[in-house]
Amino acid sequence: MRAVSLGMIVAAACLAQAPKPYAPPRTSDGVPDIEGYWQPRNNGAMYSVLPHPGGFFLGAESKEGVVDGGVLPYQPWAAAKVKELTQHMELDPTGHCHYEGIPHAMYFGFQIYETSKYIALLHENMHAWRIVYMDGSPHPKDYSAWMGDSRGHWEGNTLVVDVANNNDKSVFDMAGHFHSDALHVVERFTPVDHDTINYEATIDDAKVFTRPWKMHFALRRAAADYQFLESGCFEGERDQEHLVEGLATLPPDHYKQ
């Protein structure tokens, strides 16, 4: 009874407040101004997009993961391949200093610059960047890339970015979750207050999954004095073999699909 009362009070308070949707400031072009440094809340997605234990291999523990519903709808052959990939962390392309791809790059800090014709996203990790063309132009033909090709438009206050032309080499995380070159990602950036953007990505890959699935997490505006530092990676990376050694020391059920 007491809990119910509390719930009712909270509900009433929320109603009384009549929450107005956030109205972001506008650029000189009249579109929402979401410029700034943004950082995802620590969500462990770089280790695994699914809930995962902590530890050397899977980093910080995450009880929730970032995938809506907590399940990745793999086709049977693909589920088998994920299990195989978890035994071969030396194949993880990010360990070889490659691009993360989208949405993987979004688990790290980045900066947004808006111009009339395009929005530039500079990702700190792997010194990746992408230009999101906002002029209604189509994706290029006969082109595939680690970061794909990004074209965007505004739906109200939401920046919608369509990412096509993805290759089959980037991965979703360090836990073997992969995709094919049929990957198609639709990202939605919705500012909900001055310091927060809700990020949502719809992932479609008919060669690997049985249906599209979604992930979402919050992006926080970084402190005003935050400064990008160079993320150089090609410096003789030698940790791949250690990952394999570490893997051998884990109990067989440590990683659960």
Partner 1 sequence: MRLIITLVLSFSTAAQTPFTPPRTVDGKPDLQGVWETRNAASFDVSEVAEGREIPYLPQALEREQKGGRVDPIAHCGMPGIPRLTYMPFPFQIVQRPGVVVFLYEYLHNQRIVTTNPRPHLEGIDFWLGDSVGHWEGDTLVVDVTDLGDKTWLDAARHTHTDALHVVERYTRTGPNTIKYEATIEDPKTYARPWRIAMPLHRNNQPGFELREQECTEGDDGRAIHPQYRPAPQGDPLEFVRSYPAAKGGSK
Min CB(88)–partner 1 separation in Å: 18
C-alpha triplet 176, 44, 200: angle, nearest 5°: 90
Min CB(131)–partner 1 separation in Å: 7
111 neighbors 119 (Cβ within 8 angstroms) = no
Distance separating the N- and C-terminal Cα atoms of the chain: 40
Output the CA torsion 130→134→139→144 (10° steps). 0
Block residue for tokens 């509900």: 11
Cβ-based nearer residue to partner 1, 2 or 141? 141
| DSSP bridge partners of 248 | none
Min CB(70)–partner 1 separation in Å: 32
Six-digit token string for 247? 């893997």
Cβ-based nearer residue to partner 1, 146 or 217? 146
Cβ-based nearer residue to partner 1, 7 or 138? 138
> CA-based Rg of the chain, rounded to a whole angstrom?
20
Cβ-based nearer residue to partner 1, 130 or 177? 130
54 neighbors 60 (Cβ within 8 angstroms) = yes
Cβ-based nearer residue to partner 1, 7 or 140? 140
Min CB(177)–partner 1 separation in Å: 21
Which residues in this chain contact partner 1 in the complex, by CB under 8 A? 28, 35, 96-99, 111, 113-115, 120, 122, 126-129, 131, 133, 137, 140, 143-147, 169, 228-230, 232, 234-236
Alpha helices in the chain (DSSP H): 2-17, 76-86, 240-249
Cβ-based nearer residue to partner 1, 143 or 154? 143
Sign of CA dihedral 4, 7, 12, 13: positive
Min CB(81)–partner 1 separation in Å: 21
Q: Which residues contact 251 (CB under 8 A, 6 or more apart)?
A: none
Min CB(143)–partner 1 separation in Å: 6
